[in-house]
Chain A
Amino acid sequence: MIINHPLLGPRDSAEFTYKGDANLINRPDPETASPQDWHDYAYLRDNPAGPHRELWFHDGGDRSWLVVTRNTLTHEITAVELARDVARAEGRSK
């Protein structure tokens, strides 16, 4: 596969390490989250047959985390974003 890195352009997927569901960005708020929220965050993952937002680490490159939207049926990649931008957009900060 080829991942179109937002900063570095098209790169072979062999340069990356796969982590999984991009929902891992949405770590519960330690002030307000319930035990159930923590359980869901740690253990529950969607496994869709179709578009899937997932985390890839460019360890053979610039070491950035990316959010890749990949169709699990066709491997078509429709979006690649810096995970940091995604995290900020979802309200994460410090």
Chain B
Amino acid sequence: MTQKNRLSGGQIGRDTTLKFTFDGKQYQGHQGDTLASALLANNVRLMGRSFKYHRPRGPLTAGSEEPNAIVELRGGARQEPNTRATTAELYNGLTAKSQNRWPSLAFDAMAINDRFSNFLTAGFYYKTFMWPAAFWEKLYEPIIRKAAGLGSLSMKPDPDAYDKGFRHCDLLVIGAGPAGLMAALTAGRAGKEVILADEDFRMGGRLNSETLHIDDAPATDWAAQSVAELSALPNVRLMPRTTVIGAFDHGIYGAVERVSDHLHTPDPGKPRQTLWRIYAPRTLLCAGATERPIAFDNNDRPGVMLASAIRSYANRWAATPAQRIAVFTNNDDGHRTAQDLLAKGVKIAAVVDTRPDAPRADAYEVLRGAQVIDTKGRLGLTFAEVKLADGTLRTIECGALGVSGGWNPNVHLTCHQRGRPTWDDSLAAFVPGGTLPPGMSVAGAAIGALSTHGALTTGAAAAKKALGLKGRTPATPKAEDAPVSQTPFWYVEGCSRAWLDQQNDVTVKDVKLSHQEGFRSVEHLKRYTTLGMATDQGKTSNMGGLAIMAELAGKAIPEVGTTIFRPPYTPTAIGAFAGRIRGMEFHPTRLTPSHYWAKERGAVFVEVGNWLRAQWFPIEGETHWRESVDREVTATRNSVGVCDCTTLGKIDVQGTDAAAFLNKLYCNGFAKLAVGKTRYGLMLREDGIAMDDGTAARLEEDHFVVTTTTANAARVYQHMEFVRQCLFPDMDVQLISTTEGWAQYAVAGPNSRKLLQKVVDPAFDISNEGFPFMACANITICGGLRARLFRISFSGELAFEIAVPSRYGDALMRKLMSEGAEFDVTPYGTEALGVMRIEKGHAAGNELNGTTTALNLGMGRMVSKAKDSIGSKLSERPGLNEADALIQVGVKPVDPSKAITAGGHLMAETGPVNAAHDQGYITSAAYSPSLGHMIGLGFLKNGAERLGERMRLVSPVTRLTVEVEIASAHFVDPEGERLRA
């Protein structure tokens, strides 16, 4: 018979039968079931194995606080480890597997650990796997990771999408139990924008699990009516299946909505989960309370559950873990479980109540002043051993045992900004206290109002107060208001292997041992015993541990304090944090204007910052990148090459103080730069270290265009705005980044002028006389298209940079290629660009590396003493100007066949090779097709005076030792004749 433990009633859709498998076996459940409720209905109590001792475990709870029933859900790439069976919504075709067992759940070879439990106590790993240290990574850690640990990953890319979203409201209500519903009704009816979020798929909270009445009708009816009213209000947004995971600064809350987790696969176009950022000036936490267990020996057998959880399964899901059930309680709430089960036809073996004055009942036996001291049953509970008030023992046959030790308010979110809860003696529990996150208030069971009446009235009053609503507090519906008195009862005297934290296998004995070994702080206890760690974060176990610690230390529980609650409230998939930002969407991809043209040419691309730039352009027959790069360099130096340099930052500087502003920004002078001229500029940080370099072109009296390196474009712009707004606020100057506004190409080589003359309109004279080296101008090309022309050269050749509005970039590149055919025009990529700048001795990012000064870069004299500029004063510091300061030099191998690599250090020809004898280092290296051997740029102590000296270049990392000669950094055309041609 299927579903032999299915009861009558409940909030499940019996018309819909859902098929699912657990550990390969087929079962059936109904719409509205969770995996746990469906398994219980099918008489399956055993759902997992414990973390350390591999003990058989079943569900302890019916919610997100579950420590035991942790399964691997789904299969293939969608396999999700460590999923709580108690919150996993059943769908047709669901597959789940138990974890942490081998070969099967019923027979787990690792259960041998349980036999050796005397050795596996608190701190076992710390005490055992200590020596030798080298064994850790290779031996101990892999073994421990295999033996302990929870589920496994699929190791495949997640096929689902995750989204992020933003929402705003006047009031965020967290939790849709009686308090949350009443608060949302109060605020919603007053016309406020309300978001009501609940982690469950069915709103109503505990009302769904109880047989209570509100206004003389079943409380579930009231919950359903309230949800219906709220969903009809246009100003109220209901967010079921949404866990508020953290309370962050300034009323910002993180919430994970499980959009598709209740489906076999997400609907087309829908994400699996959405991470919401909710902006709420006011928040009402109605998170309810969690029942706490009582510790006794072998209290972890499948079938031993929280009494409220058994009630939830019976009332909401019409499922029972067994047909004969006992209850162990220290309060009246446990009796409710017995009453509700009886009403559903489940036999009550007995109610074991620790109180000598416990209420009597006609329908079931109450053992007053008694305690459950042990249990039996290999893979599930069969008997409970009870010590009666008179000290005699009695064995009770039962398939499940409901345990109730009272309720703990769910204070977690009140502590996310380091607030600490306060102790309430009447409840023997922590309640919200101290400093709550700004804008947050608390109502219902979360603040200790444990009755339904208390939840409804505090919910309504807190919403009214939070929103400053005027008028009388509306009447709340009639509901039970049973007095709640909780007396502490944490564990049964004399117990030892009594589980406090079932997820981490921490027993009462472990806590005592850790105290004995000197771990007195609650934070130390947590880390030594692992109490309260892992996926449930001790929601059902922390209090028991604290209570025992307090008792051992002879302190009150509030003196011991709690560990700090941190987000997220429940485990959150990393995918939800990542959202769409993964793979190619991890950062934006910026394409140059010539990208599609370059792609047609078969270019190889490289990521530079967010940009994709052509690295080289292979042609038929080339098999190695060096062949392409060498050809591109040679062709450029011999005729003409074209390179897309759009990625350089371009900043438009305008205003009557533009020149004065640049004079402050660059260490060299700009005030006297003539209109129509361009100048190289070096920017320093205020501490005198080089920040960036580029050119500034004065297009008009009050209009400059500044270029930056590709990598520093954003940073330099920010720096310029800082100088403008914070240091010289009255300068008449405006800045804007135009990097993406203009497509810019370097046209380099002896034939570059001839090529450009074919596209530049004839009105513009670009001859050497009419447009000399470092000239710049606004021009038109191709019969009227506006363009900018700069005669600047990074390659060292006669060269120009031509810029057109970006949308013409593709067309201009194609035009340059077709017009340049007669010169065998050659496109070149970033590699050839790099080779040519090294041949020419131009510094780039490798040299402007955050440690070098103008002096180091061989530009010490550029720092103007005639004016103040950023960094000029501190660049004069003696420490940066010592006689043997590092100066940029070139190096070449004495034997031209030898290699030079960047990163190597320069040492004297003979003598020791160590840091004390370090003379300098190499920053850039390349094969120079122009010279036929490798060359490098680097920094050498007193380098300017040491040209021609022979040294050793060594790199212990790459085992390189090569004899080199120090040379001028300007390997090609040192006199600059070509670029002035």
Contacts and interface: CB of A to CB of B under 8 A. Distances in A.
Contacts of A59: 714, 718
A87 B729 CA distance: 7
A88 B730 contact: yes
A57 B720 CA distance: 12
Contact of A17 (B252, B279, B660, B718): B718
Among the interface residues B250, B686, B718, B874, which one has the most CB atoms of the partner chain A within 10 A?
B250
What range describes how many residues of B lie at the interface? 20 to 34
Contact of B728 (A38, A86, A93): A93
A16 to B, nearest CB: 11
Contact of A33 (B251, B687, B873): B873
A24 interface: yes
Interface string A21-59: 000110110100101001101110000000000010101
A1 B725 contact: no
A88 B730 CA distance: 8
18 contacts: A1-B249, A1-B252, A2-B249, A25-B727, A27-B727, A30-B873, A35-B877, A42-B686, A42-B687, A43-B687, A83-B726, A87-B727, A88-B730, A93-B728, A93-B729, A94-B657, A94-B660, A94-B730
Contact of A55 (B251, B279, B726, B730): B726
Interface in B833-880: 868, 872-874, 877
Contacts of A28: 873
A8 B251 CA distance: 19
A26 to B, nearest CB: 9
Contacts of A84: 725-726, 729
B438 interface: yes
B23 to A, nearest CB: 45
Contacts of B250: 1-2, 75, 77
Contacts of B251: 2
A19 B686 CA distance: 14
Nearest to B250: A2
Interface of B: 249-252, 279, 417, 438, 657, 660, 686-687, 714, 718, 721-722, 725-731, 868, 872-874, 877
A41 B730 contact: no
A94 B663 CA distance: 12
A83 B279 CA distance: 27
Contacts of B718: 17, 57, 59
Given A2-B250, A42-B874, A94-B660, A63 B721 contact: yes
A38 to B, nearest CB: 5
Contacts of A77: 250
Given A92-B728, A93-B730, A76 B686 contact: no
Contacts of A92: 726-730
Contacts, number: 78
Contact of B873 (A38, A74, A82, A87): A38
A27 B724 CA distance: 13
Contact of B721 (A42, A65, A76): A65
Pairs of residues from A and B, 9 with the lowest C-beta to C-beta distance, nearest first: A30-B868, A93-B730, A2-B250, A84-B729, A87-B729, A75-B249, A1-B249, A84-B725, A65-B725
A82 to B, nearest CB: 8
A82 B729 CA distance: 11
A59 B720 CA distance: 12
A74 B249 CA distance: 8
A65 B686 contact: no
Contacts of A41: 686
Contacts of B728: 92-94
Contacts of A94: 657, 660, 728, 730-731
Contacts of A24: 722, 726
A31 to B, nearest CB: 8
A1 B438 CA distance: 12
A65 B726 contact: yes
Contact of B722 (A2, A57, A88): A57
Given A39-B874, A65-B722, 9 more contacts: A1-B252, A2-B252, A24-B726, A59-B718, A65-B725, A83-B725, A88-B729, A94-B657, A94-B731
B863 to A, nearest CB: 13
Nearest to A75: B249
A36 B687 CA distance: 13
Nearest to B438: A76
Contacts of B660: 94
A77 B731 CA distance: 30
A57 B873 contact: no
Contacts of B731: 94
A82 B250 CA distance: 21
B622 to A, nearest CB: 42
B169 to A, nearest CB: 14
Nearest to A37: B873
A32 to B, nearest CB: 12
A39 B722 CA distance: 20
Among the interface residues B686, B725, B868, B872, which one has the most CB atoms of the partner chain A within 10 A?
B725
Nearest to B731: A94
A83 B657 CA distance: 20
A90 to B, nearest CB: 10
A85 B725 CA distance: 9
A30 B687 CA distance: 14
A55 B722 CA distance: 10
Nearest to A82: B725
A30 B663 CA distance: 14
Nearest to A42: B687
Contacts of B726: 24-25, 55, 65, 83-84, 86-87, 92
Nearest to A19: B722
Contacts of A83: 725-726
Nearest to A41: B686
A33 B686 CA distance: 14
A54 to B, nearest CB: 12
Contacts of A12: 252
Contacts of B725: 64-65, 82-84, 87
A83 B868 CA distance: 22
Nearest to A92: B729
Contacts of A55: 722, 726
